[in-house]
Amino acid sequence: MGVVPPMALVFWRWVAAFAIVSAVAWRHVRKDRAELIRRWPTVLALAATGVASFGALLYVGLQRTTALNTLVVQAAIPPLIMLFAWLFLRERTTRWQVGGVAVSLLGVLVVLSRGRPWDLLHLGLNAGDAVVLFGVVLYAVYSLILRRRPQVHPMSLLWATFGAAILLLAPFYAAELIAGRHMTLNAPTLLGVAYVAIFPSFLAYLFFNRGVELIGAARASQYLHLQPVFGAVLAVLLLGEAFHLFHAAGLALIGAGILLSSWRPKGLERNPLRYNRISLKAL
């Protein structure tokens, strides 16, 4: 904040990610070009909801709210996806999935509140939180649209959605430049843009898209509840912060919630290695 304006970060994030995926996807894109053109409305919808808008709204919202508030609002993504999948796609939601999301959501709140979830009742909300919430809703919509994704190679889909997102973001980035907000060019900012381009953009979207394809939006989205736990662990390892009992309790609850949502006492797959074989075949 104060060094990299929000639109500059989100624009150059996707430009760099687009360059990375272009280097490895060009053969697949050439093969899938006709299908991508035919399904351009779906590609544009994916780019608008989950690629361009989510990151932009998150960064804009963080200008006016705290990281804690933002994480709490983002914890609503899995319940929203489950609700939308039931309402619009008629995906069957079991009591195990609902219970699992509830348990993992409690684990998130335990971590974010440092073991005092009731303190979140006094959390002050502001305009920045509303912006982030709008982005969260759009990301839930993105996760559902993925179920109707064009049947192309995963790299082709990334290439198309990243490219479309750049075109959608360009006018907003230009407006930010005209307003006199420029990114400071130095090693830390360039490394920061490189980080968000490689890990939260290229790799994370590649894996999440494949996860939704394999197990559905509701189950895949629940793993987003691990974000604050990973953040806490990284804070311990990289920033020297202490690991507390509430971290362990939150991790246990989130893990239990994910396992609970995956539990299928009836109609269990006859071959539990089915998904593993699908993943290996895809690779």
The pLDDT score that the predictor gives to residue 256 is 87
The pLDDT score that the predictor gives to residue 123 is 66
The pLDDT score that the predictor gives to residue 164 is 97
At 157-201, the pLDDT tens digits run: 999 999 999 999 999 999 999 999 999 889 989 999 999 999 999
The pLDDT score that the predictor gives to residue 125 is 67
Among 124-138, 143-157, 230-244, 253-267, which range has the highest average pLDDT?
143-157
Does residue 150 surpass a pLDDT of 80? yes
At 119-129, the pLDDT tens digits run: 777 666 678 88
Does residue 272 surpass a pLDDT of 70? no
Q: What is the mean pLDDT of the chain?
A: 84
**Predicted TM-score (pTM) of this structure:** 0.81
DSSP for the chain reads: --SS-HHHHHHHHHHHHHHHHHHHHHHHHHHHHHHHHHTHHHHHHHIIIIIIIHHHHHHHHHTTS-HHHHHHHHTTHHHHHHHHHHHHS-----HHHHHHHHHHHHHHHHHHTTT-GGGGGG----HHHHHHHHHHHHHHHHHHHGGG--SS-HHHHHHHHHHHHHHHHHHHHHHHHHTT-----SHHHHHHHHHHIIIIIIIHHHHHHHHHHHH-HHHHHHGGGGHHHHHHHHHHHHH-PPP-HHHHHHHHHHHHHHHHHH--SSS--S-TTHHHHHHHHH-
